[in-house]
Amino acid sequence: MAGLIERLNLAPCRLVGTSLGAFVAQELALARPELVSQAVLMATRGRTDTLRAALARAEIDLLDVGIRLPDRYATVLRALISLSPRTLNDDAAMADWIDVFELTNAAGPGRRAQMEVSTLDDRLGAYRDIRVRCQVIAFADDLVTPPHLGREVADAIPGAGYELIAGCGHYGYLEDPAMVNKAIVEFLTTEAH
């Protein structure tokens, strides 16, 4: 990310990341603050709790022994983990989501690498040194990165804001794009206090 920002001569720029992308943005804001003017961190965390660590280890074990879940099963599991009950209980929406998930079920070395990053050490202490203006957006029904873990990131970064968006799971930015975009635009267009 740093190389791309430098290559395109964009510094300092605004970053918006979700999940692993939010982690990258946090780390860049810490390591190279001159490259970042503002950062929106969605569905993020600064540490791995016990349940998410166990899930990551279990997924790594499956990948390492070469087990690939049938696509149909992987699709349903992904929906259950990533979407809110509001979306899961909407038959029309779920028909669309199932189609999308079935088209994007590719597993490969990138998935394994992402699982490794999912077991990150506690970075909250380090995030106290971030001086870039940040906004954390959490999704109320997120099972992958629950809101309390996002709240910890917001509490660790000096002056960071925090917003909780109801009725959304890990893919909240896709489940309620109007609400998420509104929150992002408000943060990016409001001057620091």
pTM: 0.91
b (16+ CB within 10 A) / e for 168-181: bbbbbbbbbeebbe
For 24-59, write each residue's pLDDT tens digit.
999 999 999 999 999 999 999 999 999 988 888 888
pLDDT at 193: 62
Task: Indicate the domain borders of the chain.
Answer: 2-47+120-189
Asked if residue 137 has pLDDT above 70, the reply is yes
Average pLDDT over residues 117-128: 88
Cis peptide before 12 (omega within 30 of 0): yes
For 88-119, write each residue's pLDDT tens digit.
999 999 999 999 988 887 665 666 677 777 77
- Tally the residues of the chain: 193
CA-based max dimension of the chain: 52
pLDDT at 4: 94
pLDDT at 174: 95
In what helix (H) or strand (E) does residue 154 lie, and over which residues does it extend?
A: helix 147-156
Q: What is the mean pLDDT of the chain?
A: 92
Q: Active-site positions?
A: 19, 142, 170
Class of domain 2-47+120-189 as given by CATH: alpha beta
